Structure 1
Amino acid sequence: MRVTRPDLVDAAFLTVLGGLALVGFANTFEGWRFLLVGLVALVAGILVAWLCTRLSVALAALAAVAAYLAVGVPLVGVALVPATVSGWKQLLTTLPPVADGPLLTVPLLLGLLCGFAGFLLARRVDRSAAPVPVPVAVLGAVILLGTTEPGARLLDGVVFALGALGWAALRGHRLRPPARSGTGRRTRLLTSGAVLAVSAVGAALLGPALPGAGGSREVVREHVTPPFDLGAYPSPLVGFRKYTKDANLLWDQELFTVSGLPTGAAVRIATLDDYNGAVWGATNGDAGNNFQRVGARISGAGPGQEATLRITIGAGYASASDVNAWLPSAGRLTGVTFGGRRGPALAEGFRYNVATSSAIVTGRLREGDTYTARTVLVAPVVPDDAQPFGRPLVSEYAQSIIGTHATKWAGDVTGIGPQVRAVAAHLRDHGAYSDGGKGEAEYLPGHGAGRLTTFMNLPRPVGDDEQYAAAFALIVNSLGMPARVVLGAHPGPTGVVRGSDVHAWVEVHLSDGSWAAVPNTEFMPDPSKKPDRQPPQPVDDADAAVVPPPNMVRLPSSLSELDQTNTNARPRTTSDPLWLSVLGFLFGIGVWTGPPVLTVALVCGSIVGLKARRRRRRRHLGSAANRYAAAWHELLDHAHDLGLGPITGRTRHEQAVALGLVELAAAADRTVYGPGDPTEADVTGYWHRIDAARLALGAGVRHWRRALASVNIRSLRLGGGAK
């Protein structure tokens, strides 16, 4: 088998177009190894398609599978079968850029499919644009599986389009019979130029109005929520009292040590951005606000002071089941490297929320676990005239807790920023501190609706970080400024973090998009400021109705009960209606199975469309005698696709005898070679007889073969006789 010049040209164009399509993964993968893997697989696919030219499509496909396994193992270095099945799912749920490893099976598979399918069509289908849709489909898959920011806008746009048009034009010139006059060539050039001109004008006029013409494009990962159950991890704020002095549990215990943290910077343990009437907890929001896998590098940190932290987990932190899943960090992470024997397992279970700068390890942290966190530290401050980033939604039960206290404590101050400061000053100046110590047992832990209502309605608010931060965040939200609660710590000079260093503060969302911290010292009294020994009588608002959230769980009423409940006070949500669950299930199936099913549908639809176009041209183009001959060729092609024996290379009479259609063949011979031309009625009648013969041939084979005949490319590969 000899390599021809057209083979080399088709292989070169296919390699270039496939490579340009794969370059679109530049923002999805770390480094350029993905491109090397994809190109090697693409070339391997071309070689397999060339070597299998004389084989059936089924045998060629088996050879491609073998090549995928042979090339993939040394390139990716993992078990390819499970990685092929789950790799693209993990890619969609991993924060880009992703590192090398199992996810390289995605460019590996796309590259091999591009080379194999593209070159197979180029060799077997006698159509100029037949192989071009393959790299176009690969480019579409890369865009859908990639990021909203294009990896190579110019290469994937203009250069790719020019390459695809050039390849189709070159194949058309090669496959089309040469024009017999200069006029024919000029006509083709003028027609091509007119098509390009109309396309350019149409693109200029309609392009801005088309979907995807905006600054960012639609990709699958923006509509996929990573399969991560936050409900398995309790709110760490509920168990805050175990860090206090009077509880005497973790007050003086070493939780973890941190080095590399600049003086004055705080360590973030958890960001809690949702209040459900029972607890402040973390949520999985939309695609930009959820916990997801990350790659070797976490993008989107922005400017700030870079720092490298090394953190070692102590026994106290590891023993607290409500907090040991949360990874202490600072600022905005750009990368995490886990050390020690458990390093690989911790890395596999690491999830990060870019919007809240919070991290979770699904396998939970143990004593002695160490990791290095690369981070960017930012410390925006709340200006006096602070403006909010949009208006937050305030639930009914949150509003019932707050009542009129927000406006009353803000006084006559106007403007959201000044009102926030006025409320913080009121809590600090008029409140008292209690962690439920000796003689103060009536001041319970927790921050559910009942506890916060009592906290608000006393003439003098009494509580610790938990109650003050929870209440202040609710009030700030009611004033129109988005707020969330942060549980963290302020390490001592040696970097050792003990329970006494753990605090809760509030962050507000400013109009510039940043989250600025409001330190707990601004809205909390000094711990030395104790409540009166005799609990004061509630004020008039104490009898205000409290609207509990649906299905609220009973809050722990004592420290011992708090420990028994494992601090998991987050209520379970009510079950969705059956029809909504069914819709969600079907949507999930569509998200995961949609791309491969769509790809198969596009390929099958293209084959059916090519055959329909061929049949239409045979039926209506050319002289009446030629349409008689074309009708016979249409019948033969259908027999080829049904797999009805070796009928290629025989005379029309021999073919007719093999198929049992002697009378139809004789009618075609009389018309084509006899005197005179048939009428239009004769042609129409003969085509009706051919259609009936097609149905009869199909009825004589099994159902599955009849179904596969419509997408069998054998007749296209053989040239299809008269076009």
Structure 2
Amino acid sequence: MSGPRRRADRPARASDAGAFRAALGLGYVVVAGLLATVAAWPIYGSARAILVAAVGILAGLGIVALARALPFRGPLRWLAIVGATVVAYLLLVVPVAIPSAMAGGPQAWGRGIRDGAVGIVVGWKQVLTLSLPLGEYQAVLVPFLLVMLVGTVVAGLLVVPDRRTSPLAVLVGFAMSGFGLAFGSSAVSAPVLLGSISVPAPRELLVAVGGLVAALAWLLLRARTTRSMALRRATAGTVQRAGLSGWPAFRRRSLAGLLVAVALVAGAVVAPAAAGIVDRSALRDAVQPEVVLRQTPTPLASYRSAFTAERIDEPWLSIEGDTAGIERLRLATLDAYDGETFHVGIDEDEEAVRFNRLPRAAVRAPGDAAFELRVGDGYSGIWVPAPLGLRAAPDFTGARAAALDDGFHRSADDATSIDTAEITDASGAGGGAPRGLASGDEYAVIAAPDGTRELGEPGGTALLDPEEYPALTGWLDLQGQSATAAGFLELVDRLRTRGYLSHATADGPDAAGWIAGLGSGYAFLPSYSGHSKARIEALFTQLADQQRLAGPEASDAALVAGIGDDEQFAVAVALIARALGYESRVVLGFRLPGAPEVPGVDACTDVCTGAALTAWTEVSGGADAWVPVDATPQHEVAPSLIQEGEQLPEHPTTPERPDAPVVEPPSAQSESNDAAAAPDDSAAAVPPAVAAWLRWTGLGAAAVLLALLPLAVLLLAKSLRSRRRRRDPSPEVRVVGAWEELVDLYADHGLLEAEHVVRADTARAVGRPAAATLAALVDRAVFAGDPPTSSEADAAWSLVDRERDELRGGARARRRLSARLSFASLARSLRPARASLQEPAR
């Protein structure tokens, strides 16, 4: 009676076991979703992300249950699953992932659904380019909802019903967690103290170890259930089944526990160690406008071009609105100096400045300034003029608004704004067009007012190698100032007082505009452009030499010697700051009416022209506060340069138009790139058309040589191979080499498609008398008792040469060239063991 009852119960037990394995699989899917939520939390930092994860998991499980209940199978079932997923996504995306779209009625809801659909394609870029945490801004939660919904559906369909491919759900679970790790920050989570033990990167550790343990636990339990079902099926015809002995059960369970323990130990030991010694990188580290920045010269190098006759009065910016509290508009903040230029620090061997996209929804706080900017005819480029304390991304208007919105990026320190949108032509074709702002672009900004910051004391260690800047170091030694904030400000004051403003190398029409702006008493003196180490060292050499020659009792007017403008003096101040231990950077931009007045520099009111462009230095005042330091030299007292052996006049006067030449730096240090500089006669000796023809001819010849290089290498390889075989010192090796050469010759001419093991068979298959003769000669040389002589080796090679001449003589020129350039002989070892042979083409 017990036997039939047991057989009746077996289908129920099998069904129960299948349901149990499906439940285990779904449990793993839920755990994988929870770990993916933990991994993605730093991206959003909002409780809305938890809601998105929960809804995505529940909706995915619901679609899996629906798929299981469908009465049909095949392509129609998969079509229904995809349709259900799409419908669920469109119904959930607005209330769950884009809650801001629910406040405006049906029209806003429709726009939200549209943004959700578009976010499937472009939402990933938005996640990568916005500053973390993202919160609930616009449609940034759309990619996360997609990951949770689609990931749960795919993993659920793999585990229900349980089958051979179910373990692939582990890959889906790891991929779900990979979203948070890949799209998040490269910085790991802060260590956590557990008693006296510090656990590094706890979030990453939880995701990695938790995912591994969950996968192992599910796979082991699934394997155990599968084995139990197999044993039941194997004993289905018996009344009794012997139970598993204690030792095998203990051994198997111990092995399973050992695997889990190894996973825990490996994760707890290896993961923190790796987090501490390996630099982690995320996708957002690679999504940077670095390529555009590297292709764009530093704007400080073109500073003087704003003061030429064509550009000095051109409008760069028009300002409308209340700028109260905003002292300066920043064009670019340059924090890295390589001895040649000050630029944005994006080089691989420097600490790169990251650029992100800012949210465009700004909340205006009390005291914030709101105004509009319009780009004039005088300016275009990637650098976006903006105040320091931007609350949000600018609100661009006009025909290019969408492109400018998408291309706007802000540095992580809020110091520089750029826009990588292409400047299209009238036809709307971008192509290789320049990028950034163009004339007519308009945008509105909201910014916090510039606060007053006090300069703190410098660090104890100089950030400049004194041996690399001997002139700067010598000038600092002459001043005798202490390495303090007061000493630094005194050094800046002396530098500006003893400098003299000049924007050009020659006094001509190009310089008339800015000279007139300095007043009738200004006396022109030439100065070179550039801000390399050589140019700055030449500036400090002028100052130090003048001070030594003038003597300790000289007046301030007698010490005026350094000639240049903001380009050189802002860099000089930045280097002085680094020599004292301050961090420093150079800023290019405009002063607004609220900024301190600086003689020689116009302040912008309604319009910023080229004449208002200026550069200043910013010095780190501690606590991430940067203090602006003006560096423009004075222009009222012209220098009276003292030559070696001269005496300073007792009553120096300021000449109206002094003709005393300035001490020029050596030719190797001169960096003048002014438009007014004298052209090089040697360069003009070659007409531009001839130079262009020579350049393109050279490029074309180089391209042809590169294209022919593989063929040249092939011919050289064949020639060296034949020479090595022919000149081997052993006659026997030369004879065998002759056979190899003949076989290669047949292969190149298309006579041999496969080489036989026996030489005689190869010769018969080729069907040429020379092959049979040489095969017999080689067999005698190899297998005879006496080794072959040199004359026999020469005879073998003479046979090869005659056969080559006969094949070439009987073939057309095209066929001869094809044989010489054939790769068949080089690859004949890869051919099949046997194949048909054919006569050469004639």
TM class by smaller structure: 0.5 to 0.7
The answer to whether the 8 Å contact 1:50/1:119 transfers is no
**Offset, 1:359:** 0.4
**Offset, 1:146:** 1.6
Q: Indicate yes or no: 2:372 matched with 1:312.
A: yes
CA distance in 1, matches of 2:261, 2:354: 48
Q: 1:495 to 1:429 in 2, by over 3 A?
A: closer
Q: Secondary structure at the match of 1:134?
A: helix
> What does residue 349 of structure 1 align with?
407
> Please, which of 444, 464, 473 is the counterpart of residue 371 of structure 1?
444
Q: Indicate yes or no: 2:487 matched with 1:487.
A: no
The answer to whether the 8 Å contact 1:207/1:213 transfers is no
The answer to whether the 8 Å contact 2:209/2:267 transfers is no
> Please, which of 204, 213, 230 is the counterpart of residue 293 of structure 2?
230
Q: Structure 1 counterpart of 2:530, which letter?
A: H
Q: Indicate yes or no: 2:480 matched with 1:424.
A: no
Q: Indicate yes or no: 2:41 matched with 1:26.
A: yes
Q: Structure 2 counterpart of 1:373, which letter?
A: I
Q: Structure 2 counterpart of 1:123, which letter?
A: P
The answer to whether the 8 Å contact 1:212/1:218 transfers is no
CA distance in 1, matches of 2:125, 2:573: 41
CA distance in 2, matches of 1:375, 1:215: 39
> What does residue 393 of structure 2 align with?
336
Q: With structure 2 as the length reference, what TM-score do the two structures score?
A: 0.52
CA distance in 2, matches of 1:351, 1:171: 50
Deviations 1:51-77 (A, max 9, x none): 556988988776665555545556374
The answer to whether the 8 Å contact 1:487/1:504 transfers is yes
Q: Secondary structure at the match of 1:514?
A: coil
Q: Indicate yes or no: 2:506 matched with 1:443.
A: no
> Please, which of 444, 453, 471 is the counterpart of residue 572 of structure 2?
471
The answer to whether the 8 Å contact 1:258/1:495 transfers is no
**Offset, 1:33:** 5.2
**Offset, 1:469:** 1.1
Q: 1:281 to 1:63 in 2, by over 3 A?
A: farther
> What does residue 684 of structure 1 align with?
none
Of 468-477 and 2-11, the range deviating more from structure 2: 2-11
Q: 1:468 to 1:334 in 2, by over 3 A?
A: same
> What does residue 359 of structure 1 align with?
417
Q: Indicate yes or no: 2:225 matched with 1:177.
A: no
> What does residue 627 of structure 2 align with?
517
The answer to whether the 8 Å contact 1:259/1:495 transfers is no
CA distance in 1, matches of 2:220, 2:27: 15
CA distance in 1, matches of 2:294, 2:288: 15
Q: Secondary structure at the match of 1:131?
A: helix
Q: Structure 1 counterpart of 2:154, which letter?
A: F
**Offset, 1:271:** 0.6
The answer to whether the 8 Å contact 1:96/1:295 transfers is no
Percent pairwise identity: 21
Q: Structure 2 counterpart of 1:177, which letter?
A: S
CA distance in 2, matches of 1:288, 1:57: 56
Q: 1:16 to 1:203 in 2, by over 3 A?
A: closer
Q: 1:506 to 1:281 in 2, by over 3 A?
A: same
Which blocks of at least 5 consecutive residues in structure 1 are unaligned?
300-304, 560-574, 579-723
Q: Structure 2 counterpart of 1:557, which letter?
A: A
The answer to whether the 8 Å contact 1:306/1:376 transfers is no
The answer to whether the 8 Å contact 2:459/2:581 transfers is no
Q: 1:298 to 1:535 in 2, by over 3 A?
A: farther
CA distance in 2, matches of 1:383, 1:88: 42
Q: Secondary structure at the match of 2:614?
A: strand
**Offset, 1:96:** 3.0
**Offset, 1:229:** 0.7
The answer to whether the 8 Å contact 1:267/1:329 transfers is yes
> Please, which of 113, 116, 136 is the counterpart of residue 174 of structure 2?
136
CA distance in 2, matches of 1:323, 1:224: 20
**Offset, 1:143:** 1.0
Number of residue-to-residue matches in the alignment = 537
Pair member with larger Rg: 2
**Offset, 1:12:** 4.8
Describe how 1:646-685 pairs up with structure 2 within 5 A: none
> What does residue 268 of structure 1 align with?
330
CA distance in 2, matches of 1:166, 1:545: 75
> What does residue 186 of structure 2 align with?
148
CA distance in 1, matches of 2:625, 2:359: 25
**Offset, 1:214:** 6.8
The answer to whether the 8 Å contact 1:87/1:106 transfers is no
Q: 1:293 to 1:70 in 2, by over 3 A?
A: farther
**Offset, 1:429:** 2.8
> What does residue 556 of structure 1 align with?
675
Q: Indicate yes or no: 2:262 matched with 1:221.
A: no
Q: Indicate yes or no: 2:134 matched with 1:101.
A: no
Q: Indicate yes or no: 2:211 matched with 1:211.
A: no
Q: Secondary structure at the match of 1:268?
A: strand
CA distance in 2, matches of 1:29, 1:490: 37
**Offset, 1:360:** 1.4
Deviations 1:478-506 (A, max 9, x none): 67755321123442259757457653211
CA distance in 2, matches of 1:183, 1:128: 30
Q: Structure 1 counterpart of 2:618, which letter?
A: E
> What does residue 407 of structure 1 align with?
474
The answer to whether the 8 Å contact 1:13/1:167 transfers is yes
Q: Secondary structure at the match of 1:312?
A: strand
Q: Secondary structure at the match of 1:507?
A: strand
CA distance in 2, matches of 1:351, 1:77: 27
**Offset, 1:38:** 5.5
Deviations 1:239-295 (A, max 9, x none): 5568779999459997425646537x5443321234577754435346973463415
The answer to whether the 8 Å contact 1:90/1:103 transfers is no
> What does residue 534 of structure 1 align with?
658
CA distance in 1, matches of 2:33, 2:449: 37
Q: With structure 1 as the length reference, what TM-score do the two structures score?
A: 0.59
> What does residue 592 of structure 1 align with?
none
CA distance in 2, matches of 1:217, 1:259: 45
CA distance in 2, matches of 1:353, 1:235: 16
Q: Secondary structure at the match of 1:221?
A: helix
Q: 1:68 to 1:496 in 2, by over 3 A?
A: farther
Q: 1:422 to 1:495 in 2, by over 3 A?
A: closer
Q: Structure 2 counterpart of 1:273, which letter?
A: D
> What does residue 294 of structure 1 align with?
357
The answer to whether the 8 Å contact 1:38/1:112 transfers is no
Q: Indicate yes or no: 2:153 matched with 1:115.
A: yes
Q: 1:457 to 1:329 in 2, by over 3 A?
A: same
> What does residue 617 of structure 2 align with?
506
